[in-house]
Structure 1
Amino acid sequence: MAKSSQMKVAQLVSAYEHRLDQDRRELLASGDAGNEGADPSKFAVVRFIAHRIAGSARVFGCEELADPARNVERLVDEGAASDVIVGAVNELTRRIDETLASGLPEPDWMK
């Protein structure tokens, strides 16, 4: 891969890493709001973020985030109890923390 392409890819990965951190914070805040009111409609933002993570995780080599994100999305879609959704959100944010702490792996398409 050409040096200019490598720089652009590194910028994309860095932007994704930043987005994941923002998503983690927003998931925690939105999950708490849903837990307080026990109103499933408060999980619309949670579902949107989980959907975005599920769709982008594999592209950036973060397969460990895709399934927990899809699980959150599914639970919201099914109208699961608030405490169940909050538990799934906590699992997803825990995995995001682990991924960010260890650093994003190099995606296959970068090799």
Structure 2
Amino acid sequence: MSTTNLEQNELITCDLCKRRYNINVYKRHINENQCIKRNQRRLPFESIKQRSIRIGDKIFSIQQQEKQQINNDVQLSNSREKRKQQISNNNNNNNNNN
């Protein structure tokens, strides 16, 4: 193999859009601002997040499921914190009464 073939086969990854380009193509790569905008439009797994799933007779978007899961996680952590505070308050009250 010649060195020119090696150079042409090398791929460079753009830090902004995470795409891999041939060296010759990368030289013509779009400017930074356009690259950022393009990357925002094409988020990874964007099409997957817009899909929906069927549970029984109802259809839910995956985004709704993710939001619901986040809300459930927040509620769980909040309830755990409240329990910890109640237990510590009860312990403090018991210590003060003794």
The normalised TM-score by structure 2 is: 0.32
CA radius of gyration, larger in:
2
Greater fraction of residues in strand: 2
What TM-score, normalized by structure 1, do the two folds share?
0.29
Structure having greater relative contact order (Cα 8 Å, sep ≥ 6) = 1
Greater helix fraction, Structure 1 or Structure 2: 1
